[in-house]
Structure 1
Amino acid sequence: MVMADMPYIGPGLWVRIQHRFGPRMMEWFLAGHTALWGYVLLMPVPLFDQPAWSTFRAIFRNEDLLGWLMVMLGILRIIGLIVNGARKHVTPRIRQVSAAIGCLIWVGIIYCYASSNVVSTWLAIYPLFAIGELVNIKRAAHDEREARNGKAR
């Protein structure tokens, strides 16, 4: 049975999600990381009092605001990936938009850390996340082109 012929419910749904998870693993990883990054901000530790977080404090004023925003964006992206992975006909546009938002998030985080003039491990992490999101945008655009024009090259 070809994947396109599998039913939308039952085992076919699970097979479809599993089949699509591998190529989209970086999207899942970054969605989870977004939510977990926000969760860390919600912990009872005053992160914004540290020098590396000075620009975050100037922009958001409150760790809880940024924390909840990041948790919600991460969860929304995960929901979008689940829905997209379960659908018989994929909607790459959701993935493109969420990856673009993700790229803006990581670039914003890079900006805030860079503005603090504190050199730390952020320099080795978040730029790669932003680049990863650009790759995710390209992959989703490729999937959209295949969905629209067929898989023939």
Structure 2
Amino acid sequence: MAFHTTLFGLVLVMVPDIFDQPSWAGFRSLGVTEAMLGWLMLVLGSARIGGLVVNGARKHVTPLIRQVSAAIGCMIWFGIVYGFASSGVVSTWLAIYPLFGIGELVNIHRAAHDQGETRNGKAA
């Protein structure tokens, strides 16, 4: 999901008039530009990749990093769903981005479970 966020941001930065398309009208109404949203997603996605690298390099896992980044990812993907839904155009976004948001909820749950095991020991 970190790479999806980063690449989505990259597309927004590289295609400056993407919000002019009808399916992106909801994003225009939010008062953000392609560049603003693109750079935000690039920074957050890159930070999440960095956090996952740190998490993987440590002997003891840091589930809090995963929880926070998944929570931010959840807000991003459901925000994107809101932007597309606000456009009134039904497209393939409906089959993709809501599932990304739900996937982030699963990631939050799994990281919270890992944090519980780290704090309390493995459950039998």
Alignment of 1:1-153 (within 5 A): 30-153=1-124
CA RMSD of aligned residues (A): 1.0
Query: Among the aligned pairs, what percent are the same residue?
Result: 69
Task: Answer whether contact 1:84 1:91 (CA < 8 A) is retained.
Answer: yes
Q: Mean Cα displacement is larger for which, 31-40 or 88-97?
A: 88-97
- CA shift for structure 1 position 60: 3.7
Partner amino acid for 1:138? H
TM-score by length of 1: 0.78
* Aligned-partner Cα distance in 2 for 1:65–1:139: 31
TM-score by length of 2: 0.95
Residues in 2 aligned to 1:71 and 1:45: alpha-carbon distance in whole angstroms: 15
Alpha-carbon distance change, 58 to 35 in structure 1, aligned in 2, over 3 angstroms: same
Q: Which runs of 5+ in 1 are unaligned?
A: 1-29
Shift of residue 45, structure 1, vs aligned partner: 4.6
Higher relative contact order structure (alpha carbons within 8 Å, sequence separation ≥ 6): 2
Aligned residues: 124
Who wins on radius of gyration, i.e. which is larger?
1
Q: Distance in 2 between matches of 1:147 and 1:70?
A: 30
Displacement of 1:59 in angstroms is 1.6
